[in-house]
Amino acid sequence: MGNLFRTGVLLAALTALFMGGGWLIGGGGGMLIALVVAAAGNLFAYWNADRIVLAAYDARPIARAEAPQLHDLVAGLARRAAIAMPRLYLIDSAQPNAFATGRDPEHAAVAVTRGLLASLDAAEVAAVVGHELSHVVHRDTLTMTLTATLAGAIGMLANFAFFLGPRQDERDAPLGMAARLLVAILAPLAALLVQMAISRTREYQADRHGAEISGDPLALATALGKIEAMVRRTAMADAERNPATTPLFIVNPLHRASLGRLFATHPATAERVRRLEAMAAARGIAGATGPHGPWSVRRTA
C-alpha cells in the first residue's frame, strides 16, 4: 500500500508538472489545455501504451514453434505467479534486456531481446522473466507506461515551448518568454526525476518477488550483472531514440556514452545484486537451482 500511495503521488506530480508548464506558457488557458491533453494522454495510454511501446522497439510476437522451450518456461512461471500467460515478443537487438508492458495481468506482454537469449542461460532467462512477471502481478506495467507517456508529453511540451516563437498573446503567460525557457529546460529534468523515483521504488520489489517466482535469487543476480556489463558496451538505438521508455527495462538500456545515463532511472545494479545474494544466503541457497542450457529463437517462414 505504501508503494501504491507513493506511486499515485508521483503520477499526480507528473500531471501537475505538465499543467504547470502549460500555465507558464499560456496562463489559465494553457493550463486548461495541458489538463485536457494530460487526461487524454492517460486515457489513450491506458488502452494503447503496450502497443505503442512494442512498436517503438519493432518487437515481433514469438510463436511457440520457434521457441517452445521459452514458451513452456514462461507458462510455468506464469502459473507460479498466478496470472495468465503473457504474450511474448522478441526485440532484434544485440543488447541483452527485457521489459513487461500491459494495462493489467490479463493484457500483459513480455519482450526480450535477441541478445538476452544469446547471452544468458536458461536459469538466468527464467529469473529475468520472473522479474518481469512480478511487474505484471503488481501492475507496475500500467504505472510505468503511464509515466512514460506523461514524461514523453512533457518532453513534447518542452520542445513546443522552446521552438514556438513569441506570440501576441504571450502577455497571458505569467513570465512571458522567460516561461518558455523555464519549461524547455526544467520540465524534462523534473519529469526525469519523477520517473527515477517511480522506477527505483519498483525495481527492488520486482527483484525480490521475481526471485521468489523463479526460485533462484542467485540466477537473477548473475543475470543482472551480465546485462549491466553488456549494456555498457552495446548500444540499443531504439532506446536512445525513446529515453522516456527506459524505466520499463530490467536494466537501464542507455549506453554509457549517453547523457541519459547520468540520471539513472534504476537502482545501482551492484546494490540489487547484493540484496539478491543476501536473500539467497538467508534461504540457504548456495548455487543456482533452475534449468541450464543454451537458448535459441529460430525464424519461421
Active-site positions? 132
Q: Please, what sign has the CA dihedral across residues 212, 87, 57, 188?
A: negative
Contacts of 39 (CB under 8 A, 6+ apart): none
Q: What does the alpha-carbon distance between residue 115 and residue 66 come to, in Å, rounded to a whole number?
A: 16
Q: What does the alpha-carbon distance between residue 24 and residue 103 come to, in Å, rounded to a whole number?
A: 32
Q: Which three cell numbers, joined as nine digits, stand for 201?
A: 521504488
Q: What does the alpha-carbon distance between residue 251 and residue 225 come to, in Å, rounded to a whole number?
A: 10
